[in-house]
Structure 1
């Protein structure tokens, strides 16, 4: 993409994304729905002013990483750990149910290849952490018991998705399953999640000690962005999604960070709070780029728009949504908590798009299946926040105690 084209594309993405986000918020809908709609308008589907481009894709990926950083800053590791058993149950059902339902449906109606059907099933096991937790944060629910359960389930879902993706590519390239490679990948992912936050915390102490006394040139925001990029790169090196690197740095900045060495070190709250505050503008600028880019990636002209083709896409979308909603059953006794957790797992977002893109690049799926898969991902990404917004309203009308199943 030429420089002048990139500049005007970025201008349109930021302006129209903000305009429609504000409009949708006034209508009582999540801002992310407005931003995705902005992408649909700008992309090949409607105006065709902006086409998918690697440079824009990199900016969108950076937006997701920064969104996860912001979420990590407000996350308590202790509360996340306490969410353990329900989070694991939600994640497991949210992976197994879509895989079985979508894979079987794909064999019946979409493709003759069993391996391709398995790949489509795996692609729709994904959950977008960024989309749902942004809606939760805007509703003030990201730090509630249900919010921590959802975050834990989404992280598990993401890690499992990376493992599934790696296993499928390993099988596609070698023609056989390599158990040793699979176990090694799992070990690396778990190791990263264990060591990244404490390591980032240690680097924060170092950065605070090295700060020049008279510095007024944005030292904190430079250090923050540098750490986010470093740990996103390390996450990729470990075979994990880069966005988990941003989340790890956010956890390290969190005022609720806990570790065995905390008692021996003075809490650098003033410095970390300054880092968090100075980086908010980065999140507010780059975060919406991802959601607009989701809409840009769609080109509905490649779809089978016959009655049978449209009905098939809608049916598969319903299956993709329903198979995630059932995972919320383990979020508590009250139906409002179940609805919130299930709705939060519905959007596939950036993780599903990674599956789709890599599947196309490696020849596992063709252009037609890619378009159909992206449309299903987009529908879940649009419907998920709407369902979550509605279920949060129900939860607000019936507020619950920390146990999650009693009315206050």
Structure 2
């Protein structure tokens, strides 16, 4: 009897390959169902908000909450502590596509990672689009004002929040510093989308807000690095702080100066190309390269994308590129906002849970500091005719940036359950409050001026 050893040896490899291919198919199926849920939630939520004169981005956030961990569990993520059995999409696949319980966890983890990466790509494209719609000359003009707003918007809530938690609530210094650091954040993605929707992105107030939010991100990254270092080692690494400051300054200034030299070459390259998509794809390559550079030097990738948009906005291809980016943004950007909503756990608002009660009291304090600490930033400016309240309100939303602070603090073990819940509640409240409030503060003064100037 002849025994073919090669068949025996290759059988496990073939079986493993077949299993991997099967899991890959299930991952694709899960991603497709997740995209259906995301797009349905974003459109239904956005349409409802648009019909009651609220920013559609608020509807996308609410839609994410409904399909996320707080309600339907269609879109849940392992980072929140969810398992495969908690995902309604995984259960649907088990019932309809014969997904085995053994493979479910692996499929769930990979599918969630794909959606998270697509959401990150969405915010990168959003900031590239916002950069295209911004005016670099105007941003430079309002630069000193934006710097004042950003500095006050970081220092005031950080100092008030940290001191209040230590002296009023007797929280240990490191958790208090972490919570204070979470108050410094500003979600540039949410604010920029609302400003674009209400036609105020190119206004002086809008440019100050965007410039300040960009600086806020840089300062926030530095604060987060310092606080994370403090929680791990008990001491601040000065060299790391200096590195981050120098990296941020060199990157932003260098990217803009170098980009001005490169942009004519890019225009010439685009004009010489004959294939379809030449403008959009080469522009996205440029944006992704700057986003990559920003990420590898420990800045936010969105800053690189924003810088790329600013640079290309100075070319004669600006209008054409803006039109071509819109459908790409329509595909990817909703993923970002829906995922922010989906990751928001409203169970931390339940006072019936004992650990939440202390968190509710702390949260009320943090929410007050979060709002006042940002609103006052607008009133530090002395420019006549400026809508100072609008500038301050535009800095309120913490969004995904605040969740990053909470996530890092929780993962490091520096935050108690009640403090972590309080930070999450602060992020939820400021994220959902800012979009409708921003529309109101921009609309009311304009309406008053129009009424005053109209004939009797």
TM-score (norm 2): 0.78
Contact 2:348–2:425 (8 Å) recurs in 1: no
By relative contact order (CA 8 Å, sep 6+), the higher-ranking structure is 1
CA distance in 2, matches of 1:354, 1:121: 13
CA distance in 2, matches of 1:239, 1:395: 41
Give 1:395's match in structure 2, choosing from 420, 445, 451. Answer: 445
CA distance in 2, matches of 1:308, 1:126: 23
Q: Which residue of 2 aligns with 1:232?
A: 291
Give 1:76's match in structure 2, choosing from 129, 135, 140. Answer: 135
TM-superposed deviation, 1:382:
0.5
SS in 2 for 1:330: coil
Equivalent pairs, count: 389
Q: Which residue of 1 aligns with 2:41?
A: 16
Q: Which residue of 2 aligns with 1:346?
A: 396
TM-superposed deviation, 1:43:
0.8
Q: Alpha carbons of 1:223 and 1:321: their partners in 2 closer, same or farther (altered >3 Å)?
A: same
Q: Which residue of 1 aligns with 2:334?
A: 288
CA distance in 1, matches of 2:438, 2:156: 19
Q: How does 1:70-219 map to 2 (within 5 A)?
A: 70-107=129-166, 112-211=171-270, 215-219=274-278
Contact 1:336–1:395 (8 Å) recurs in 2: no
Q: Which has the larger radius of gyration?
A: 2
Q: Which residue of 2 aligns with 1:27?
A: 52
TM-superposed deviation, 1:388:
0.8
CA distance in 2, matches of 1:322, 1:154: 16
> Does 1:61 pair with 2:107?
no
The C-alpha deviation readout for 1:122-173, integer Å capped at 9, x for no partner, is: 1111111121122222222111221222122112211110111111223333
Mean Cα deviation higher: 8-17 or 338-347:
8-17
Segments of structure 2 that go 5 or more residues without pairing to the other structure are: 1-25, 78-111
The C-alpha deviation readout for 1:58-107, integer Å capped at 9, x for no partner, is: 22222221111111112222211221332222212211221122223333
Q: Alpha carbons of 1:320 and 1:276: their partners in 2 closer, same or farther (altered >3 Å)?
A: same
Contact 1:91–1:156 (8 Å) recurs in 2: yes
Mean Cα deviation higher: 202-211 or 43-52:
202-211
CA distance in 1, matches of 2:181, 2:348: 23
The C-alpha deviation readout for 1:209-263, integer Å capped at 9, x for no partner, is: 44485634312222122222211110112221111011011011113xxxxxxxx
Segments of structure 1 that go 5 or more residues without pairing to the other structure are: 256-267, 401-406
TM-superposed deviation, 1:108:
5.4
Q: Which residue of 1 aligns with 2:346?
A: 300
